[in-house]
Homo-oligomer: A and B are copies of this chain.
Amino acid sequence: MPSDKIENTVPLLSAFFTEIGIIEQLSRAALERVLPDGMKQPHFGVLNHMVRLGLDESPAQLASAFQVTRPTMTNTIQKLEAKGYVVVKPDPRDGRAKIVQITDKGRAAREAGLAALGPLMQPLYETLGKDLFEELTPKLSRVRTYMDENR
């Protein structure tokens, strides 16, 4: 299976990554058009992550979870904090670290975002079929995992 003709590698993988890039752009634009209160995708992503995991994580852990740099996560957290969606406290166990906690207001904003998401996704789901996404997601996960481990 591995090591077919290498000449075909670049065009094939270029087409793959081109599709990935355009879907990313389209999905972010579609999401941000319906998110309430001018919320951006990364903000919603972090709120969602915190609700689902139910943990109080550090900025560094969040940066790692979202594959962004720490300064980027610093910026995201500051925006969430300014809106009252999270509170940031010092970590009693590590003087360098902090702990980020979602607030009730943050939970409400996340709920509102989720509610806006349904109508966006339902047509995709109904038109293209659940099976397509159930098939694609684990395979994309394989690609993502490999790239993440070998970067």
In the complex, what's the smallest C-beta–C-beta distance from A18 to chain B, in angstroms? 8
Contact with B along A30-49 (1 / 0, CB 8 A): 10000000000100010010
Say yes or no: is A53 at the interface (Cβ < 8 Å to chain B): no
20 contacts between A and B (CB under 8 A): A1-B131, A4-B125, A6-B118, A6-B125, A9-B125, A12-B130, A16-B137, A18-B45, A19-B137, A19-B140, A22-B67, A22-B144, A23-B143, A23-B144, A25-B68, A26-B144, A26-B147, A26-B151, A128-B143, A132-B139
* Residue of B whose beta carbon sits closest to that of A135: B139
Contact with B along A118-151 (1 / 0, CB 8 A): 1001111111111111111101111110111011
Please list the 3 inter-chain residue pairs (A to B) with the smallest Cβ-Cβ separation, ordered nearest first: A19-B140, A24-B24, A2-B126
Q: Identify whether the interface residues of A are mostly helix, strand, loop, or mixed.
A: helix
Beyond A131-B1, A140-B136, whether A67 also contacts B118 by CB under 8 A is: no
Chain B residues near A23 (CB, 8 Å)?
Answer: 17, 20, 140, 143-144, 147
Bound together, the chains give a CA A128 to CA B26 distance in angstroms of 27
Say yes or no: is A8 at the interface (Cβ < 8 Å to chain B): yes
Which listed residue (B24, B29, B114, B129) contacts A21, Cβ 8 A? B24
Inter-subunit contact A12/B133 (CB<8 Å): yes
Beyond A130-B1, A143-B132, A151-B30, whether A67 also contacts B25 by CB under 8 A is: yes
